[in-house]
Amino acid sequence: MIPALMILLASEALAGRTTEVAVVGLHVRGLSDDEAVAAADALVAAIDDTGRLEAVPPGEVRARIAGREQLILEDLFLSEGRRHLDEGRILYERADFEAAAESLSRAVDELESGQLGTTAPRDLVEALLLLGQTHLSLGDQDAARADYARVVVLDPTRRLDPVNYPPKIVRFYDAVREQTLGRARASLVVRAPEGTRVYVDGHEILGEQALSLPPGAHYALAVGEDGRRDFARLDLQPGSRHTWEPQLDARVLARPSGTPEGRSDQVERLYRSLGEHAGTPLVVLGGEVGADRVALQLYEPATGNFSKYVTAPADADPVGAALDLVPTLARYVTDEGTLRTDRVGVEVAPLYISDNPLISSILLDPQPIVETVTVTRGPPWYLWAGVGVAAAGGAAGAVWAVLASQQPEPAGDQGTITVGPFP
């Protein structure tokens, strides 16, 4: 009888337990900032109304990931390219040069796309250097020459260390470098609103100035004070003059892929990284997946699994249609707070990555971090040392007092001091 009662009580406890779900808005085209906040608030309420899930609102998600926004962005833009780069490096070390060239070419493509949202060209340069070395190992000097020329265009000061590179490769690279830098330079002027931070090939430029650059492909990123930004690949011809005027109209995470598969890849990378740092068992993602349909889905960071996504017609109200899917999605979660095994999916909803003003604001316009420091204040040393003197008495007590005065102060009343904010 007692075991049956215990099972009943345990079942009731599990049934009454809720599971945290991070909410960072919906991907719906054309939402203003205020409309995006209202949609997120409605999603929070709908999740809480299920009784099975407890929504963590966007403001709390912002606080939980504070200081790690750039890590999430780098995962979004560079993780896939870095994976191919690591794979290509291993294949090269095994002397499997054809397979290495294939992996490294994919790494270059991915990392090149990532340059439109980051200020870190180092991985792209490293991929191009290794790809050039791989092409030389395959006897393809023309391809290696093109790889090394792109390195020089991105980083004109880069030289190869003869300690890490064979003399033959160093001589080949130096010849390409000399030839590339010998071409007529191109001029680039960036005209951006005051207060905008501008990066060209990862280097910040200050104010409006004419840059003299080697001709070729360059990557420019402009970031406004409130996180709004613009980016461009600039293909500069020898001796040309070019002016770039960034349009800081929106907080754009990335240009959406032109295919559903590509959009799914972008969304998967974003929510995997967000889930890693949000600290919740589940993350909800959803919004428009086409002209007339919406989808809603869950991501489980602990397992790396996405649920199957549920869809519905948008019916001219994509936000309302997405909210109607919440009760169905809640049933994809077990009483223990994990995804049901029969509801795990292999596809990620092909959302439009930049059609969510709220998550763009969270990642691109982070709030200053205010640090709270706990300070311990104890009584003056001579008071508590004096207690020892009285207890021990005589010279021995005096010696103890001297030694005690060199020890850390004991715990006393605690208070908090707020310092910051920090950028």
- 12 within domain boundaries: yes
The pLDDT value given to residue 3 = 52
Higher pLDDT, 291 or 294: 294
Q: How far apart are CA 361 and CA 253, in angstroms?
A: 9
As a whole-number percent, the residues of the chain with pLDDT over 90 amount to 65
Q: What is the pLDDT of residue 117?
A: 75
Mean pLDDT of 346-372: 83
pLDDT at position 294 is 97
Q: Which of 338, 364, 390 is the last residue of a domain?
A: 364
User: ∠ CA 116-118-120 to the nearest 5 degrees?
Assistant: 120
Whether the Cβ atoms of residue 132 and residue 88 lie closer than 8 Å to each other: no
Q: What is the pLDDT of residue 368?
A: 60
Does residue 169 lie in a domain region?
no
296 sits in which H/E element:
strand 293-300
Within a domain: residue 166? no
24 occurs within a structural domain: yes
Contacts 24+ apart (CB under 8 A), 132-137: 132/173, 133/92, 133/165, 133/169, 134/88, 134/92, 134/97, 134/100, 134/101, 134/104, 135/101, 136/169, 136/172, 137/92, 137/95, 137/97
Co-location of 415 and 373 in the same domain:
yes
* Residue 22 · residue 278 · CB < 8 Å: yes
- pLDDT classification of 384: cutoffs 50, 70, 90: very low
Helix (H, G, I), strand (E, B) or coil at 288: strand
pLDDT given for residue 404 in this prediction: 31
The verdict on 346 and 385 lying in the same domain is no
132/138 Cα distance (integer angstroms) = 10
- Same domain, yes or no, for 307 and 402? no
Q: How confident is the model at residue 394, as a pLDDT?
A: 41
- The rounded mean pLDDT for the chain is 84
Q: Could you tell me if 413 and 377 are in contact, meaning their C-beta atoms sit under 8 angstroms apart?
A: yes
pLDDT value of position 381: 39
For residue 57, being part of any structural domain is answered with: yes
pLDDT, tens digit (0-9, with 9 covering 90-100), for 47-100: 999 999 999 999 999 999 999 998 898 888 898 999 999 999 999 999 999 999
Q: Whose structure tokens read 């461009």?
A: 232
Residue 172 within any structural domain of the chain: no
Question: Within this chain, do residues 354 and 264 fall inside the same structural domain, yes or no?
Answer: yes
In the prediction, which pLDDT does 346 show?
A: 93
CATH of the domain at 358: 3.40.50
- Residue 269, in any domain of the structure: yes
Say yes or no: 272 and 356 in one domain. yes
Domain count, the chain: 3
The answer to whether residues 353 and 265 belong to one domain is yes
Show Cβ contacts of residue 278 under 8 Å, excluding neighbours closer than 6 positions.
Answer: 22, 56, 61, 64, 65, 301
How large is the greatest C-alpha to C-alpha distance in the chain, in angstroms? 91
Return the percentage of the chain with pLDDT > 70, whole number.
Answer: 83
Handedness of CA 19, 23, 26, 32 (dihedral sign): positive
Same domain, 358 and 373: no
Which pair of tokens denotes residue 120?
A: 């870190």
pLDDT in tens, 191-221: 988 889 899 998 888 777 789 999 999 999 9
Q: Check residue 388 and give its pLDDT.
A: 42
228 and 324 fall within a common domain: no
- Say if residues 284 and 298 touch (Cβ distance below 8 Å): yes
Indicate if 387 and 304 belong to the same structural domain. Answer: no
Do 218 and 282 belong together in one domain? no
| 108 vs 400, more confident | 108
Q: Give the per-residue pLDDT at 369.
A: 53
Residues 224 and 309 in one domain: no
Residue 130 lies in a domain: no
Confidence label for 420 from pLDDT (cuts 50, 70 and 90): very low
In tens, the pLDDT along 162-197 reads 999 999 999 999 999 999 999 999 999 999 888 898
Q: Are residues 239 and 204 in the same domain?
A: yes
Residue numbers of the domain that contains 298: 2-62+260-364
Check if the beta carbon of residue 116 is closer than 8 Å to that of residue 255.
Answer: yes
**Per-residue pLDDT tens for 145-154?**
999 999 999 9
Nearest to residue 50, comparing CAs of 331, 392, 350, 272? Answer: 331
At 223, is the pLDDT very low, low, confident or very high (cuts 50, 70, 90)?
A: confident
Supply the pTM of this predicted model.
Answer: 0.73
